[in-house]
Amino acid sequence: MHLIDIIQKKRNGGELSREEIDYVITEYVRDSIPDYQIAALLMAIWFRGMTRRETTDLTLAMAGSGDQVDLSRIPGVKVDKHSTGGVADTATLVVGPLVAACGGRVAKMSGRGLGHTGGTLDKLESIPGLTVTQTMERFIEIVSDCGLAIVGQTANLVPADKKLYALRDVTGTVDNLSLIASSVMSKKIAAGCDAIVLDVKTGTGAFMKERQGAVELARAMVEIGQLAGRRTLALVTDMNQPLGNAIGNAVEVAEAIQILRGELPSGDLKTVSFALAAQMLIASDICPSEDRAMALLDQAVASGGALERFARMIKAQGGDARICEDPGRLPNARQVLPLKARSSGFVGRMDTEAIGTAALLLGAGREKKDDAVDPAVGIWLLKRIGDPVRAGEDLALFHVNREGNLEESMRRFADAITIAEERPAPLPLIYTKIE
């Protein structure tokens, strides 16, 4: 085969065969194809798109480009959960312990934050002593013993995606449905779980700003998962405001602990987390219905079982499990400064991406992959969309260690909040379920 023929075929709107896709991925991982030719192919895909069959073939070729995780030694159905990313999306730290306390097996490989979105690994690493780097043997032991483990990807898991994503990031080809779907699902398939529950975000803080695009992405990923022999479903959820109230790393761990301890009886983060956990229990054959799953989840919190599972996982991964009883042991910022409302009315709209960027400027996130993250800093929201607010009232608390970007961070946050004269109509939190 000749890559120039494949590039021209896709450029002209043709459909690539499985053999052509396998050739591209295999040879690119072997460094036999230069970046500039793959960049040309990615741009042709961006303009011409891919069929569902092409997208599935691309996903499976990428999944087979490196290690394949074998979880067969872990008893029961192994379930994974994935979010397409947002702000204050701490659901994994709530969902994992909940499902484990109900008898599920959550074997999760997570990622780090980049740009305005947070990363589960960064949040976990704010727990003193905890390491997300585990051997595969130890990963399997922890899941078998605790019911859950959350670790980083192995070095050779889906190397094709690592190379392709780095190239997409610098060639303006990130935002293509087929390329996004294959990137996400190749890692999920290679990670070895039997069932996958997806949380596809839409709104001002999501990668997919428009709801229809999010629904299409969810459908594509569910179809890929099913064709690959995995039980797969997706919830399309709102990201027009931060999911939780805490934006950062240690502050998000603290909020997750509040939910697991039953100290936050309501809120968007709890609602979405419980909805995802219920679907994971159903996919794991533990519950036959959402009502039964919700009852089990409530019991897991009330009994202390969910918090106990989180503590066991933390200890097994080398962390200080005492933070579950005393979150004050988490890293604390030197200053906590309020940001006050400029006018009176109702919180009408939030630019969630700008709010995530405000936290990044404090040091809670990274603009480049090798940037350092400060685990102690972040923002705690005091008002959400629809809440009444008076001029001069606190909108948020800024947890600050360094003041270099503080003024810009506060300005961006303030500009991201629209105060309206009338209370806005509430948006749905969960738009639809795709099966």
Catalytically annotated residues: 82, 161, 168, 183, 187
SS3 sequence, the chain?
CCHHHHHHHHHCCCCCCHHHHHHHHHHHHCCCCCHHHHHHHHHHHHHHCCCHHHHHHHHHHHHCCCCCCCCCCCCCCEEEEEECCCCCCCHHHHHHHHHHHCCCEEEEEECCCECCECCHHHHHCCCCCCCCCCCHHHHHHHHHHHCEEEEECCCCCCHHHHHHHHHHHHHCCCCCHHHHHHHHHHHHHHCCCCEEEEEEEECCCCCECCHHHHHHHHHHHHHHHHHCCCEEEEEEEECCCCCCCEEECHHHHHHHHHHHCCCCCCCHHHHHHHHHHHHHHHHCCCCCCHHHHHHHHHHHHHCCHHHHHHHHHHHHCCCCHHHHCCHHHCCCCCEEEEEECCCCEEEEEECHHHHHHHHHHHHHCCCCCCCCCCCCCEEEECCCCCCEECCCCEEEEEEECCCCCHHHHHHHHHHHEEEECCCCCCCCCEEEEEC
